[in-house]
Structures are given as C-alpha cells and as structure tokens.
Amino acid sequence: MAIFKKKITERVLPTHIAIIMDGNGRWAKKRSLPRTAGHAAGSKNFKDIARYCNKIGLKYLTVYAFSTENWKRPKEEVDNIMKIFKEYLEDAKNFKDENIQVQFIGDRSVLDADIQRLMKESEDASADATGLHLNIAINYGGRDEIVHAVKNIVDSGVDANDITEQTITDSLYTAGQPDPDFIIRPSGEYRLSNYLIWQSAYAEYWFSDILWPDFKPKDLDRAIDDFNKRNRRFGGV
Ligand code: IPE
Ligand code: IPE
Ligand code: MG
C-alpha cells in the first residue's frame, strides 16, 4: 500500500561519502590505452568529483587512491601511480582556493620522502579550510589501520577494561570524523577491498558498472537520490 512507501520530501545529502575509485585499468583497456592512461584519467576525475562534492556542500569525502594490497602490482604501474599522485600533490594548492581541507589516511611512512613532505604541505596549507573535508586514502588498508590503532592503544597504557568501541574509533586515521554513511563503488565489483572496514559498519552501499574515469557528477546525483530512498534502521525497527 502506498502509505508504506517512504515519501521523499527533501533530498538530504549523506554526511560522509566514501568512494572506491576503481576501474581505471579497464577504462584504459577499452580504449586500447596503457593502464597509465587510465590512472591519469582517474586522477582527473577525482579532482572534478571532489570539487563537485564541495560545491554541493558535502561535509566529508573519503577516496580510495591506493591500497596496502596495491603494492602487489608490477613495479612500473606502482611507480606510475605514485608519479600521478605526486603531480596531484604539486598541484594541490589549487584546492586551497576552493576551501577544501585535505587529509591523508593510511601508512605514509613507507612512501618516498618528497611525497611525504608534499602530503604534509598540502595538509598544512588547507588546515583552516572550512568547506569539504577530503580524506585521500593512500597506502591505506582497513586491517592495517586497526592494527595501527591497537598498537597506539597499547602504547598509551590504557587499562584493558577501559577500552570501548569509542577508544578504537578515536585511534583510527579518521578519528574525530563521522563514519561514512554512503559508500560508492563503481567498476562492477561488489566488495570493500579492505576499505574503511571498521567505519562502514552501518554504511549504505551503492554499486555501479560505470568505470571510475566515467563516473560523473550526474552519477553521483543519481547515487544520492538512491541514498534518499534507503530506510536506515541501525538495528531498530
Ligand atoms: C583503481 O583502478 C586504481 C587503483 C587501484 C590504484 P584499477 O587500476 O584497479 O582498475 P581495474 O580494476 O584494473 O580496472
Ligand atoms: C581497490 O581497488 C583499491 C583502490 C581503488 C585504490 P582494487 O582494484 O585494488 O580492488 P580489487 O583488487 O579489485 O579488490
Ligand atoms: Mg581495480
């Protein structure tokens, strides 16, 4: 009966959208281009989508740029992804004028020293921005993040009986941020690939066959419309 259908009166934005930017390689293959070209197109698309999220007033966006598992790829591809990441960082000051606050999540200690320096500069330069909070996950793995959190908790000397869910939440890279309420994965894969596994406990998911470089603002709008149709219960009735 119609009364059971959720009536959409006003579109609400999720508070925190997390995107798995997947499908760059297949996008390139479809065009008979090297995978490198797919990563370059994916990087450009990331900038467009981040700007769009800022424009519509989204509070938090977390993008998956490179996972702890992606080191398994051929060295040439990894080097190329890092090169594209460095180019983005060198250009990142552009973001500052747009009032986007940038933060990197993941284990940066193993990245090249110049990349680490640029990451810090980018975070420092945008620290006072009040628009979109953009997390870029680089050498990020959800399990690795939890191990890192547990080490910090043990190091702090806290009594085991005092450890709560909040203790762990506060020790993650995303400490102080709301959990993602909407996780988007283009590229036709239906998995998390070790992304935000603690934080996503009650997220809504949206999957699509679109390959990341083809994922446009209109697709994000469609996803947000679908989010608005979800009935989130959090274990209640
Ligand atoms: C995502 O695209 C980018 C990274 C994982 C760095 P892929 O490179 O995984 O693209 P597909 O999945 O091979 O198409
Ligand atoms: C997830 O994509 C990681 C990023 C998008 C950075 P992958 O392409 O690495 O994931 P799998 O291997 O298909 O699970
Ligand atoms: Mg992939």
Please state, in angstroms and rounded to a whole number, the distance separating the CA atoms of residues 40 and 168. 35
Predicted confidence (pLDDT) at residue 136 exceeds the cutoff of 60: yes
What is the predicted pLDDT for the residue at 117? 97
Please state, in angstroms and rounded to a whole number, the distance separating the CA atoms of residues 22 and 42. 8
| pTM of the full structure | 0.95
Q: Is residue 236 part of a domain?
A: no
User: Using CA positions, which residue lies closest to atom 10 of ligand 2?
Assistant: 193
Which of 19, 24, 49 has most ligand 1 atoms within 8 Å of CB, for mutation?
24
Q: Is residue 119 part of a domain?
A: yes
**Structural domain harbouring 158:** 8-227
| Confidence category of residue 42, pLDDT binned at 50, 70, 90 | very high
Q: Is residue 176 part of a domain?
A: yes
Q: How far is the CA of 3 from the centre of ligand 3 (A)?
A: 42
Give the nearest ligand 2 atom to 66 CA: 6
Nearest to 80 by CA among 34, 148, 44: 34
Q: Is residue 38 part of a domain?
A: yes
pLDDT of 45-98, one tens digit each?
A: 999 999 999 999 999 999 999 999 999 999 999 999 999 999 999 987 667 678
The DSSP secondary structure of 89-158, one letter per residue, reads HHHTHHHHTTTPEEEEES-GGGS-HHHHHHHHHHHHHTTT--S-EEEEEEEE-HHHHHHHHHHHHHHTT-
Verify whether ligand 1 is closer than 6 Å to residue 24 (CB atom).
Answer: yes
Q: Is residue 233 part of a domain?
A: no
Give the nearest ligand 1 atom to 35 CA: 8
Which of 187, 190, 208 has most ligand 1 atoms within 8 Å of CB, for mutation?
187
Q: Is residue 12 part of a domain?
A: yes
Q: How many domains does the chain have?
A: 1
Predicted confidence (pLDDT) at residue 168 exceeds the cutoff of 70: yes
Please state, in angstroms and rounded to a whole number, the distance separating the CA atoms of residues 186 and 169. 27
Please state, in angstroms and rounded to a whole number, the distance separating the CA atoms of residues 212 and 23. 5
| Average pLDDT of every residue of the chain | 95
What is the predicted pLDDT for the residue at 8? 53
| Residue in this structure with the two tokens 């450890």, named with its chain if needed | 163
- Give the active site residues: 22, 70
Q: Is residue 1 part of a domain?
A: no
| Confidence category of residue 3, pLDDT binned at 50, 70, 90 | low
Predicted confidence (pLDDT) at residue 1 exceeds the cutoff of 70: no
Q: Please state whether 103 falls in left (phi above 0), alpha (psi between -120 and 50) or beta.
A: beta
| One-letter amino acid of 196 | L
Predicted confidence (pLDDT) at residue 164 exceeds the cutoff of 60: yes
Q: How far is the CA of 92 from the centre of ligand 1 (A)?
A: 22
Identify the residue with better confidence: 124 or 5: 124
Across the range 106-112, mean pLDDT stands at 98
Q: Is residue 201 part of a domain?
A: yes
Give the nearest ligand 2 atom to 25 CA: 8
Length of the chain, in residues? 237
Cα Rg of the chain (Å, integer): 18
Instruction: Calculate what percentage of the chain has a pLDDT beyond 70.
Output: 95
Across the range 177-181, mean pLDDT stands at 98
- The CATH number for 130's domain is 3.40.1180.10
Residues with CB under 6 Å of ligand 2 are 20-22, 64-67, 69-70, 189, 191, 193
